[in-house]
Structure 1
């Protein structure tokens, strides 16, 4: 049986025929769907924000690196033995609770065997640490593969640098700027390129050798990893020199930074200053600090970068 149309009397006395379809709620407007938009709005906003962040290749690389360092820190923290003082404190607390607790509560504690559950914590920690370590290794491999293609960009940047030195335009720039500033800028740029080429090149050759693409000895692979870290150290030094040089130029010119620029510069200084001891730590066999501190600092540095990118891609 087909549904019949209904009529409605308006304020001026005319009759309007309404289709039965118009009486039905639209999709997403009925009682069943009424709560869905509000409950999913935050998730939808997060996914849209994440999509904007990942549209840029450089942002994508920074996010992967942050996740890799964060999972590495979690794995390292889980692998770190719990201090004996904490275990003694937990045992004393459980004994104190069982002593002063009512009989019914003591029976519940005995039923759930909290003491036996506490003994299983180390095993659960190691299992979770293995999972996080595996995730960290996958993300680090992903990042290394990305940096392999970064060699192409560095090749282009190095070519542009040398072509720019030989071009007449470089001579004109020296007329408009201080000679020492010009020399400092070119020296910093050259150090930056050499550092990243050494870092990317040695790291990728060592990684490809580890995966069986090359057949170098383990000793050669270890040397390549060490040269990669030295290249990274040169890059960090060039970043610090660039920040100090820019600050010197601004001070001599009497320019003042805006609050946002000052905040970005301060964050960059913190990141570079933290990368310094981390580079020394990784380049020494005995290390410079406990691994849990090193993993936390590396994750924190990448967190600062990712937080800045996240705020930069927010919709105002």
Structure 2
């Protein structure tokens, strides 16, 4: 029942109510969303629970990060993703600063055009705004940190030739232990090609890096001719890296074709869960190598053809695939 409909004043809105008529009681309503205030003790317990939850989450995150950084592969995956993320963000920040400065200069030129006489030239040196100055400093800091991380990753690869040797030894022993009928000569040739390309890449990168740092300082790496020779080592190391990526994509394609043929034989079909796991691992390798491919071709050219923004994006994809796998292994 409407409260105002029972009021005498509602029957005749034009007639004033008698002075002795009682005032209608105000109608109060409460919304369901309103909650009674919590007592101080309950509020304190809620805050303590929230703080404990935050600390527990931070503790688990730091423990997983510690386990990730305790292995060389985990450290490299994290630093790889970090380096290319910094490159990606710095490229976009640099483009933002340049665009703002260009717009400011264009607006200033338009306003000054009407005040200048024919033949006059305006030369102005204006400091950037504090916002653009902070963005510029942040861009420089991210660029330098990315270069520092990249330099560290190249340094720790100085002894990666030992890993290539271990890899080659394992491939050799695996081939020697197989029967002749069980050997896959196509995949075997592709893997040995990858081993050779990796060894050449690593040897050239090590030599170029040590020459740039002045560790190798003979006449054949100093002077103008020596610098050009070292620059060619960098380019050729990237070309062997590109060859490895191409061989790996070819190997993955061969594995896919081979397993597709084997699945037609019901006796060779594995369990569904195992098949899905292998398919997921295969796709991750494909995505990672497809992201590396244009980058290796970019560095294989003396001038390059990919912007820093694209290098950062592709590096995030390529490094992120490996980081995701390493991060999953840190779960308790």
TM-score (norm 1): 0.70
Deviation string 1:263-287 (CA, Å, 9 cap, x unpaired) is 3322221221222222112222332
* 1:229–1:282 CA contact under 8 A, matched in 2: yes
CA–CA distance in structure 1, aligned partners of residues 275 and 170 of structure 2: 31
Higher gyration radius (CA) = 2
* 1:61–1:146 CA contact under 8 A, matched in 2: no
Residues 1:147 and 1:185: Cα distance change in structure 2 (over 3 Å)? same
1:251 aligns with 2:253: no
Alignment RMSD: 3.1
CA–CA distance in structure 1, aligned partners of residues 276 and 253 of structure 2: 18
1:293 aligns with 2:310: yes
Among 83, 107, 110, the residue aligned to 1:68: 83
1:119 aligns with 2:121: no
Shift of 1:247: 0.9
Among 17, 38, 48, the residue aligned to 2:53: 38
CA–CA distance in structure 2, aligned partners of residues 33 and 309 of structure 1: 33
CA–CA distance in structure 2, aligned partners of residues 300 and 160 of structure 1: 29
TM-score (norm 2): 0.67
CA–CA distance in structure 1, aligned partners of residues 239 and 319 of structure 2: 20
**Larger relative contact order (CA 8 Å, sep ≥ 6):** 2
Deviation string 1:67-102 (CA, Å, 9 cap, x unpaired) is 12222222222223557599869x99xxxxxxxxxx
3-state SS, counterpart of residue 140 of structure 2 = helix
Among 257, 282, 291, the residue aligned to 2:299: 282
CA–CA distance in structure 2, aligned partners of residues 86 and 261 of structure 1: 51
CA–CA distance in structure 2, aligned partners of residues 204 and 261 of structure 1: 34
3-state SS, counterpart of residue 157 of structure 2 = helix
CA–CA distance in structure 2, aligned partners of residues 252 and 183 of structure 1: 17
Name the count of aligned residue pairs: 254
Residues 1:187 and 1:210: Cα distance change in structure 2 (over 3 Å)? same
Please name the residue that 2:250 is paired with: 241
- Give 1:1-316 correspondences, 5 Å limit: 37-82=52-97, 84=99, 119-162=129-172, 167=176, 169-170=177-178, 172=179, 174-175=180-181, 177=182, 182-215=184-217, 216=221, 217-254=226-263, 255=269, 258-315=275-332
3-state SS, counterpart of residue 44 of structure 1 = helix
5+ residue gaps in structure 2?
Answer: 1-44, 108-125, 264-268
Deviation string 1:234-287 (CA, Å, 9 cap, x unpaired) is 110121122112112211111466333333322221221222222112222332
CA–CA distance in structure 2, aligned partners of residues 48 and 161 of structure 1: 35
CA–CA distance in structure 1, aligned partners of residues 301 and 250 of structure 2: 24
